[in-house]
Structure 1
Amino acid sequence: MKEFEEFLAKIDDPDHRDRTEKALQWVSEKFPQLKREVKWNQPMFTDHGTFIIAFSVAKKHLAVAPEQAGIEQFLEEIKQAGYDHTKQLVRMPWNQPIDYSLLEKMIAFNIKDKEDYSAFWRK
């Protein structure tokens, strides 16, 4: 995961850095076909040149960005997990476990939904 080393090194809180690294490693292992990239200072995963999911770090949470369609598709599960969200990202608080089952569903949805998509972002 050398693509993410510089990003991870900038996370001051060791616990936040460790949790973020574990999440990125999990995605890399679960979806090895996805390309690891850093764009706009965010680690992200792409598939055939199209955006699948990105991560960012905030003081109180790890933000996961599956695009608006990924959030709308799993809105009830996001709420059930106790996560806050906006139109573009899900906030996974540092004091709660990461719901890897939900994360897997969002990624799998984006891969399938965008399999014939050629643009980076959905329009």
Structure 2
Amino acid sequence: MRMVLFILAAGMVIGLSVWAYQENYRTQAMIGETERLQREIGVSRARLAVLKAEWAYLNRPDRLRDLTEINYNDMQLLPLRPDQFGRIEQVAFPSKDAPITFENAVEVSSEEAKP
């Protein structure tokens, strides 16, 4: 009986050690994946910062003003003025009770056409 208990205990120790090694390898793989993702996030953030800086550089008001002056003959762009904007009270929104209508609506049916 003792021999069976020793063999059973040794089998349990071996089984648990195999399980522990598998968990250790899985944990190491997850740590590596996490580190890779962190590096990727860092690279993406750096790239985003560069893109934001480039966007700010390209959208400088003096540069845009010069571009509109240079390309006036081709594009007919004019500088923006405050009097070109309207107020929200001037927008004609449809009333909430008005029915929604569709122009040139096409009726669709799932039934097969009968001859």
Q: Same fold (TM over 0.5)?
A: no
Where relative contact order (Cα < 8 A, 6+ residues apart) is larger, the structure is: 1
Mark the structure with the bigger radius of gyration: 2
Q: Which has the higher helix share?
A: 2
TM-score normalised to structure 1 length: 0.17
Output the TM-score relative to the length of structure 2.
0.18
Larger strand fraction of residues: 1
